Amino acid sequence: MLSYQHAYHAGNLADVHKHALLAWMLDYMVQKPKALSYLETHAGRAVYDLSGPEAAKTGEAAQGIALAQGWFAADHPYARALAKTRADHGAQAYPGSPLIALNTLRFEDEVTLAELHPAEAEALRAALPGVTVSQTDGFAMALSRCPPDPRRGLLLCDPSWEVKTDYDDVPEFLRKLHRRWPVGVLALWYPVLTDARHRPMLRALHRQFPDAVSHTVSFPPARPGHGMVGSGLFVVNPPFGFVDEANALSRLFARVAPQT
């Protein structure tokens, strides 16, 4: 039974990190006049209401996008996605990753999304009519759809990590996926945890993909004792310029990083 709901966490500092890099990567990739595929294994509901009870309960968006909004120039692809979402859905709306992607992608690009939770999948379909949404396991969806057509493209894997075996299983999943789709940009989001549970997985990933890039940022826990103290994005086949953009983001996150 799935209990994770992204509405409690939407717009937190991990989302700012993940979504800013996602928007930048796709914006870079659409500069080439060649269609691409965009796939997501764990899509969520695409539109979140930061004035809702979920966001109020955790206060994560108040410590996240509410602080970070001014970090980005108006023409940064993440700032553009945020502005468009708010123009379309209201001043307190926040775009999930599928909406960030659709804001950047073009008519000719192919979008395939998986979301297992029935209510989230229904909300996703309602938010993005005409987009292919599978209410299915995202790992299985990715392996069955890859290599996609068009071959150029990006896949975001953003699990909720509530299934603890995901930490053991993800390296093998990415290995199989990369074997099927060697040219795909594969982006995996992971939490940076005080108990270091993510570390063995990351070591295995770096052994498997020596040329991949992992970018992490640190931030204070959302509440005292909360285990997540940073956000990581592991990218196989990162687009040219990714490291420079990630370094720019590191400088922005230094404003909230705990002093050591």
Tell me which residues touch ligand SAM (CB under 6 A): 2, 4, 6, 15, 18, 41-44, 96-97, 114-117, 120, 137-138, 158, 160
- Shortest-Cβ-distance residue relative to ligand SAM: 96
> Amino acid identity of 40?
E
Q: Phi/psi of residue 170, each to 5°?
A: -65, -40
Choice between 185 and 211, CB closer to ligand SAM: 185
SS3 content of the chain, % helix, strand, coil (to 5): 40, 20, 40
Q: Rounded distance, CA 95 to CA 100, Å? A: 6
Taking the complex as a whole, the smallest distance from the CB of residue 29 to ligand SAM amounts, in Å, to 18
Choice between 95 and 238, CB closer to ligand SAM: 95
Q: Rounded distance, CA 59 to CA 108, Å? A: 38
Taking the complex as a whole, the smallest distance from the CB of residue 34 to ligand SAM amounts, in Å, to 25
Choice between 120 and 245, CB closer to ligand SAM: 120
Choice between 63 and 231, CB closer to ligand SAM: 231
Taking the complex as a whole, the smallest distance from the CB of residue 139 to ligand SAM amounts, in Å, to 6
Taking the complex as a whole, the smallest distance from the CB of residue 210 to ligand SAM amounts, in Å, to 27
> Amino acid identity of 36?
L
Specify whether 158 is catalytic.
Answer: yes
- List 134's β-bridge partners, or say none: 114
Q: Rounded distance, CA 205 to CA 67, Å? A: 32
Q: How far out from the chain centre does Cα 221 lie? A: 19
The closest alpha carbon to 243, from 27, 25, 97, 64, belongs to 25
Instruction: Quote the Cα angle for 138-240-244, to 5°.
Output: 100
Q: Which two tokens stand for residue 17?
A: 């990190």
Active-site residue (options: 15, 27, 158, 168): 158
Contact by Cβ (8 Å): 186, 235: yes
Choice between 41 and 63, CB closer to ligand SAM: 41
Taking the complex as a whole, the smallest distance from the CB of residue 162 to ligand SAM amounts, in Å, to 7
N residues, the chain = 260
Q: Report the catalytic residues.
A: 158
